[in-house]
Structure 1
């Protein structure tokens, strides 16, 4: 039996929790009272893409339930060991849009900075599970190169911090980076794509909020929540701190088989998000990354689910159904019959 004593996540700092992640499949299975028969395949898949789960996220997973929607997002499975030929290590061809270390520039007017190489949890469907973070984790000198790239391109008015997870960096590093971006006059918006407010809610510190509130940049945080059960009371309260600071909150989800591929799940998610001050933004079809084929939901089923949302929810609670297509000028909308029929929702 694994003997490991860790203070409860409620009583430690976010940095301490980040350093006490569950990384051993045997520990996760034991903690959640899951069958030992899952261990061998979990250990094999773990070698391809390491297990990382926070204590707070694990506390929301129902013990003994192999089909728990939160568990399915983090538990390595034998299904990851084989993939169809159409699944690749770089499904979005991001290597083609990597003009400087840490920079991905795919779309007009906005550029993405890889501001951290790690996440607090490793989502098993992550499209960057094979990304070369070693050459895209800039040193301070390389950060200056990335910032010069932005400063020299006046068409860029929005900088997106991504990763990894950008909130995995310290408050001090975040403040430095935000200040460096803010001195570039043609940049007006800062967008942060993050999962940490959900999987590591203690990361929402007063120092972080001060940095985002005091900058001249308009700040948008796009969280990544796939299921309403990911939002417990603590997550809800931390998200409300951001909302009260007048930071725009949006959510993007991935449609995942066995996680949220039902109308009731998606409706509940939209309503729960709005209760936290978050507007649903995107519902992504799965990016075809090697190791994630078992999460795929076919397009016809996705359209049917989206049509149900359109018929059930007010328009502001319906995320756009999209996919990412390499070399496209933007996210590509996925439409059903309602688009051609002039369907409207209010």
Structure 2
């Protein structure tokens, strides 16, 4: 569909459902069209549920029929006046005007969504290539052998994709990074001892374009983005270690996922500045409204976030807290509010778990960490302490024997757990240095969990599966996969919700269960995580004229309290697929994305 223009897509839509065109064309008003379309959809839906339906739909495969039912439900949502009011848009109006020849500017993104929905409604989704697999017609060993061959095709396809993404243990990548390390050490006049000292990396974090250009080759677009960051005072910084992980700046090669995380784009910088000038908040999660006291965020009954520090060894462009994260030289620990926060936790005995994060708390000294973790551990009602840190990836030398001794002091099996929650985005971040850090932690009996942010740069077919496989070998358990926060300035990173749902169903599901332990979630501002695999937690309520979907999320409390739903405008599937196509992806592998709602 992406190769067709808007006129061809409109023609495809009318051919798929001629009755739709007749209803729209013969209606004098949008309300008349709405009534006719509801009757039409209800008639189709009834035939999908009737065993002895006289319509051609009764011959559909049960899976195709199930998809048709989902399409019917979505289409009825799209023409509801309630959701037109909520979204400020009307898919029905766009279709009505299009049928009258009065909507020549109808977007290809919108028309692709409509064509997919009506194709699915009639069992023409193209999801399934044929009837039942041949092995289902056999029994015994013959069936088993044919089934095994069938599964081999899945596995071979997976391995083909895994080989594209590489890992931090690939020989060619290790050699290129060794050369980068040597160049960076020479520039700073550093010894091997200095390189292995985490404090040296924190002191020498790169935060200006002039230095960066001397150390790595940048594309023109990357230079433009960093120049704007400096102009607008948008903080960015990269540790020398993480800079040594940079590979070729070729946008189609393996190094792209790492570079994009820390190099602010021009679009990002302009978005931040525009928000600042307009007075708009960059606090997507509205942490200001979930902070009962300074340094604490609380969204759930038993756990809270404690933030002692507002910087990190390096700054991730897509960070949900980009509005409050500072450069290292501008950050400081303010002990008075931190002491008040600790007193607040001590008095609230219903809290059983504390996530110490920030910023990255492992940026701080061993003595400070010993003090703050010890202060939390002394509270008898605290059963678990999590440490949220990216240092395993950004400066793995931070995981020293002394630090591990401090952490293990507060990890007491049967009484209190201490665990690490980290944030690995791509298999090429998993290096020998990171393995050494993870091994040191795991040998102390401390668990490590990963929270991946699912961004454009790790969203290709089986790319996140490649990460999961490597994580488990490093002793890291996949925990959450976060849909990228809906922050306008981070649009470069955002991926349609349908893609993370597709990844879970068609890719993650093919891995052994012990490797796919993460749960895909969407973070609802103020209220917290909503599970993306659960129909009852969200629904598609509108498709905007530009092709973007609008979802309604029902928060985790929705069966406990009458909390309001949250309406979210996603990025366009059409635009996402066009971007993948530009990057050389085979779009046939993503063809089912339209049917994830």
- Say yes or no: does 1:218 pair with 2:417: yes
Aligned residue for 1:7?
Answer: 190
Residue correspondence of structure 1 range 116-195 to structure 2 within 5 A:
116-131=309-324, 139-195=334-390
Q: Provide, for residues 275-332 of structure 1, a one-character-per-residue CA deviation record: whole Å limited to 9, x for no partner.
A: 111110011001123521111000111211121233311223222100110232x411
Residue 259 of structure 2 is aligned to residue 75 of structure 1: no
Q: Does 1:113 align with 2:298?
A: no
Could you say if the C-alpha distance between residues 10 and 72 of structure 1 is closer, same or farther in structure 2, counting changes exceeding 3 Å? farther
Q: Which moved more, 1:276-285 or 1:6-15?
A: 6-15
Distance 2:421 2:519 in 1: 14
State the partner residue of 2:531: 333
Pick 1 or 2: higher relative contact order, CA cutoff 8 A, min separation 6.
Answer: 1
Is the helix fraction higher in 1 or 2?
Answer: 2
> Which residue in the other structure is 2:224 paired with?
40
Post-superposition offset of 1:40: 3.0
Conserved? CA contact 2:401–2:440, under 8 Å: no
For structure 2, list consecutive stretches of 5 or more residues without a partner in the other structure.
Answer: 1-183, 538-597
Partner SS, residue 281 of structure 1: strand
Partners of 1:78 and 1:9 in 2: CA distance: 36
Aligned to 1:22: 206
Give the whole-Å Cα distance in 1 for the aligned partners of 2:320 and 2:339. Answer: 27
- CA RMSD in angstroms, aligned pairs only: 2.6
Counting matched residue pairs gives: 334
Instruction: Mark the CA change 1:119 to 1:132 in structure 2 (over 3 Å): closer, same or farther.
Output: closer
Greater mean deviation of Cα atoms: 146-155 or 61-70: 61-70
After superposing the two structures, state which structure 1 stretch, 293-302 or 76-85, moved more: 76-85
**Deviates most, 192-201 or 42-51:** 42-51
Conservation of the 8 A alpha-carbon contact between 1:51 and 1:122: yes
Q: 1:245 aligns with which of 439, 444, 448?
A: 444
Aligned-pair distance for 1:111? Answer: 1.2
Question: Following TM superposition, by how much is the alpha carbon of 1:335 offset from its aligned partner in structure 2, in angstroms?
Answer: 1.6
Q: Determine which of 288, 309, 314 is the counterpart of 1:95.
A: 288
1:320 counterpart residue number: 519
Is the Cα contact below 8 Å between 2:206 and 2:238 reproduced in 1?
yes
Q: Deviations for 1:204-256, whole angstroms, at most 9, x for unmatched residues? A: 01121111111243111011001000011111111111111110110011011
Report SS of the residue matched to 1:263. coil
2:324 match: secondary structure: coil
| Equivalences for residues 47-86 of structure 1 within 5 A | 47-66=232-251, 68-83=256-271
Q: 1:300 to 1:290 in 2, by over 3 A?
A: closer
> SS state of the match for residue 322, structure 1?
strand
For 1:324 and 1:185, locate their aligned partners in 2 and report how far apart those are by CA, in whole Å.
30
Which of 436, 444, 458 is 1:260 aligned to? 458
